Chain A
Amino acid sequence: MDESTSSAPLLEIQNLCKYFPIERGLMRRVVGHVRAVDDVNLTVGHGKTLGLVGESGSGKTTLARCILRAIAPTSGRMIFRPQGQEVDIAGLPKKELRSIRRHMQMIFQDPYSSLDPRKTVYDIVSEPLRLNQVASGQVLEDRVKRLMERVGLSIKYMHRYPHAFSGGQRQRIGIARALALNPSLVVADEPVSALDVSVQAQILNLLRDLQSEFNLTYLFIAHDLSVIEHTSDEVAVMYVGRLVEQAPTKALFRTPRHPYTEALMASIPLPDPDRPLPVQGGLEGELPDPAHPPGGCYFHPRCKYARPICSEQTPPWTEVGPGHHAACHFTRELTLQGIE
């Protein structure tokens, strides 16, 4: 890696938007937009893990798909700095994307549907290397073997098909494939939520080991806050397409500065009968329809601290501590409850 650029963050997302048109009638007239990602700013440092939290419909998967350029964003910039390069991948045409794509890889949620059932493990793991003409013949085979061993798969099973493996082993296959091209950024979308509890820990430990070994940067998407706390250096919280808070992990969990983050944490059932969920005062209501979000702060209809201004004005993205931002009109006044 080029040391001169390694101090600048690997990924800088600036004012990123992704709007999906809502079409009506025979003429497919556009009558509005769903703002799936709405003016998001994010920074991910080299070798760090950014945890992205949000409920379904929050836009976290759409954001991940934009970053990987699986879909083109509507506007904004995404400055990506893999291995000494610097490119804005937001507006990059398809042809130029090809060469940059190998630096970013994805690990999927469902190890049962993300692997091609007609290919052997060897084919699956070697495919990115063959497609990018990185290796062939004996070099290719050696590289695949090393990858398999590194993620904890026996090379004895190299020529078996995915169905012969357990969920945890399939996730290892997916990880080996993602690592094949030596990426800088790995986007992991709910990588352990489909796994049995006793297997989750194996995969989380493996991801941690691989990160330090290969200096990987993770964007870790999960709905399970305890997994996010365990894996992430920094956490960003999304609500209906907007970021509501971002902070170093400890600061976010100890001293949340946005009422939605507080409510999210208070909703987690802890494996401790002495710390039950509160019977009263929990968050009511559901996420608003992203096609017709409420005015002002999107969270105000469910927020117990809401005041008139909250329905009128979008709260600014405010710095409230070192690296700690929140979008709430009253973030400086409120004392919110975190996790002890």
Chain B
Amino acid sequence: MSNGNDILLEVRELRTYFKLDEGMLKAVDGISFTLRKNRALGIVGESGCGKSVTAQSILQIVPRPGRVQGQMIFHGEGGPIDIGALDPESDAMRQIRGREIAMVFQEPMTAFSPVHTVGNQIMEAMLVHGGISEQAARERAIELLDQVGIPAAARRVDEYPFHLSGGMRQRAMIAMAMMNHPKLLIADEPTTALDVTIQAQILRLMKKLQADFGMAIIYISHNLGVIANMVDDVAVMYRGKIVEYGTVRHLFKNPQHPYTQALLRSIPHLGGEAERLATIRGSVPIPLDPPDECPFANRCDHFIPGRCDARMPDAVETEPEHRVSCVLYS
């Protein structure tokens, strides 16, 4: 498994289930991946595929009644620690959350309190950890806002979140996430609510910060274009499972799982000439008491009765660093 010191996070057989009246919702159902330092991993998938719950599981902030099982070995400052074995409320988890692993969300309004200024919220987080004067914290907050490209940061520091545009709020949330120089930044659809020109600005900013600070990123998005631009490796999730995993080049140039192939074919490509788009029949399933089978079986054009619906296919390495869970390759 871990053979060098460049591994940051090893996730093994992560399962996050929600016991509901209707049955067991298997939001994340036995996923494994390894994230190396300074790398960017993209998790791509549609609604209900489990990509956001994966992020919440790593931070141990899964809402009730979710239960997280599995190993998540994080190689942080204090040596390897299994996040999966930590109590979400423990000091050890709190130390990791916000300090070593930070997160930015789709909607920055939920990350900020509307009744405090942006600066006070950033300062508060610094003052809680102690060892810094109020004046120094204020200067640091201005510096952080400046670093993420907020113009007139010295003035903006005293503004309330609702004064800021969507793009500026997203920058402020990124500033807050960067405060303690995290080893890992988890970005969950950070640009989905933004206009395309603002999205491009935020994507550029995140790339710059990653290079400047040397951190790893887990980038979660449904947007294949964003993923292709931002990451080194990609995990494609469908109904709680990783169905394909590979380098960004493998995945976009040589997609192997029928779901990945169909997804790439179904989006209109700029400059493309297609009269009709390829479609995937049916709709995205909800992982409620899912049967033990390939999750894509009932929408797949290559469905083989007796094999695809017999059990979940094992992941097969079809080329170096490229794994796919599909009977066509086993």
Contact = CB atoms under 8 A, between A and B. Distances in A.
Interface of A: 55-56, 166-169, 196-202, 204-205, 208, 223, 225-227, 229-230, 253, 263-273, 276-277, 279, 282-284, 286-287, 339-340
A200 B280 CA distance: 9
Contacts of A199: 280, 283-284
B46 interface: yes
B225 A282 contact: no
B224 A205 contact: no
**For the side of the interface on B, what is the size category?**
35 or more
Contacts of B271: 229, 253, 339-340
Given A168-B283, A208-B276, A230-B277, A339 B270 contact: yes
B160 interface: no
A272 B254 CA distance: 11
B277 A277 contact: no
B204 A200 contact: no
A268 B272 contact: no
Nearest to B200: A267
Contacts of A270: 225, 228-229, 269-270
Contacts of A286: 165, 167-168, 198
Most chain A CB atoms below 10 A, which of B204, B270, B280: B270
Most chain B CB atoms below 10 A, which of A55, A223, A230, A287: A230
Give 7 closest A-B pairs by Cβ, nearest first: A269-B225, A230-B268, A55-B195, A201-B277, A267-B200, A201-B266, A271-B224
B228 A230 contact: no
Contacts of B201: 282-284
Given A167-B283, A271-B224, A225 B196 contact: yes
Contacts of B207: 279
Nearest to A271: B224
A282 B149 CA distance: 14
A10 to B, nearest CB: 23
A283 B168 CA distance: 15
Given A225-B196, A273-B252, A286-B167, A230 B224 contact: no
Contacts of A198: 46, 262-263, 266, 279-280, 283-284, 299
Contact of A272 (B204, B228, B299): B228
A32 to B, nearest CB: 20
Contacts of A263: 197
Contact of A201 (B204, B252, B280): B280
B226 interface: yes
Mostly, the B contact residues are helix
A55 B166 CA distance: 12
B278 interface: yes
Contact of B224 (A56, A197, A204): A197
Contact of A264 (B196, B223, B274, B299): B196
Given A226-B269, A230-B272, A271 B195 contact: no
B6 to A, nearest CB: 22
Contacts of B281: 202
Contacts of A272: 228, 252
B302 interface: no
Given A199-B283, A270-B225, 19 more contacts: A196-B283, A198-B280, A201-B279, A229-B268, A229-B270, A229-B271, A253-B271, A267-B200, A268-B196, A268-B200, A268-B225, A269-B203, A271-B252, A271-B269, A286-B165, A286-B168, A286-B198, A287-B195, A339-B270
Interface of B: 46-47, 165-168, 195-201, 203-204, 207, 222-230, 248-249, 252-253, 262-264, 266-272, 274-281, 283-284, 299
Given A198-B263, A200-B267, A201-B278, A283 B228 contact: no
Given A204-B277, A271-B224, A273-B249, A226 B200 contact: no
Contacts of A196: 46-47, 222, 283-284
Contacts of B203: 269, 277
14 contacts: A196-B222, A197-B224, A198-B279, A199-B280, A229-B268, A229-B270, A253-B270, A264-B196, A273-B249, A277-B229, A283-B200, A283-B201, A286-B198, A339-B271
A199 B280 CA distance: 7
A28 to B, nearest CB: 23
Contacts of B267: 197, 200-201, 226, 271
B292 to A, nearest CB: 23
B204 A223 contact: no
Contacts of B272: 229-230
A331 B323 CA distance: 50
A269 B223 contact: yes
Contacts of A223: 195-196
Nearest to B225: A269
A197 B46 contact: yes
A204 B276 CA distance: 8
A143 B274 CA distance: 33
Contacts of B230: 269
A298 B116 CA distance: 33
Nearest to B267: A197
Nearest to B248: A273
Contacts of B275: 208
Given A201-B277, A205-B279, A279-B204, A166 B284 contact: yes
Contacts of A279: 204, 207
A269 B270 contact: no
Contacts of B195: 55-56, 223, 287
A223 B46 CA distance: 19
Nearest to B276: A205
B274 to A, nearest CB: 7
